[in-house]
């Protein structure tokens, strides 16, 4: 992908340069625990290819990569207690969503009642 920063944190995790606590891995995706969890269970799932956004991913990844990525999201969300209690999947894209790491990823959050869907930046929304 043109414009992809191969020094971003998730690229470095995928190359093994930064350690992570792996939840699930397949040929096309890696799932690991977020370093700054926003819920008792907070998992990130990233494709192994170099994609900044879901648009890059769905337009340029192979069907096998797309299938493998979403299969990994489903497998990662089997971790206890998400299956029993429920969970939320979120993906931040671009500046309005406060995407911090420019490598496409989804967050899987759970382990407690999660409140309103947009509560992470409620102060931002309330002031607009």
Q: Annotated catalytic sites, by residue? A: 105
Cβ at position 22, least distance to ligand 5GP in Å: 10
Cβ at position 63, least distance to ligand 5GP in Å: 25
Three-state helix/strand/coil letters over 46-98:
EECCCCCCHHHHHHHCCHHHHHHHHHHHHHHCCCCCHHHHCEEEECCCCCCCC
Q: Which is nearer to ligand 5GP, 40 or 62 (CB)?
A: 40
- Rounded to 5 degrees, φ, ψ at 103 are -135, 120
Q: Which is nearer to ligand 5GP, 54 or 66 (CB)?
A: 54
> Which of the 8 DSSP states describes residue 39?
S
3 dihedral zone (left: phi>0; alpha: psi -120 to 50; beta):
left
Q: Which is nearer to ligand 5GP, 63 or 103 (CB)?
A: 103
Cβ neighbours of residue 128 closer than 8 Å, sequence gap 6 or more: none
Cβ at position 107, least distance to ligand 5GP in Å: 6
* 111 within 8 A of 41, measured Cβ to Cβ: yes
Binding site for ligand 5GP (CB under 6 A): 9, 18, 20, 32-36, 44, 92, 98-101
């Amino acid at each position: 992908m043109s414009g992809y920063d191969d020094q971003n944190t998730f690229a470095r995790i995928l190359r093994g340069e930064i350690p992570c606590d792996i939840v699930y891995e397949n040929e096309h995706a890696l799932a690991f625990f977020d370093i700054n969890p926003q819920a008792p269970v907070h998992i990130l799932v990233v494709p192994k290819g170099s994609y900044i956004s879901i648009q890059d991913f769905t337009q340029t990844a192979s069907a096998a990569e797309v299938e493998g990525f979403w299969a990994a999201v489903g497998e990662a969300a089997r971790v206890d207690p998400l299956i029993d209690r429920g969970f939320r999947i979120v993906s931040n894209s671009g500046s309005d969503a406060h995407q911090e790491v420019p490598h496409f990823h989804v967050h899987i959050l759970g382990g407690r009642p999660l409140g309103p869907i947009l509560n992470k930046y409620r102060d931002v929304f309330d002031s607009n």
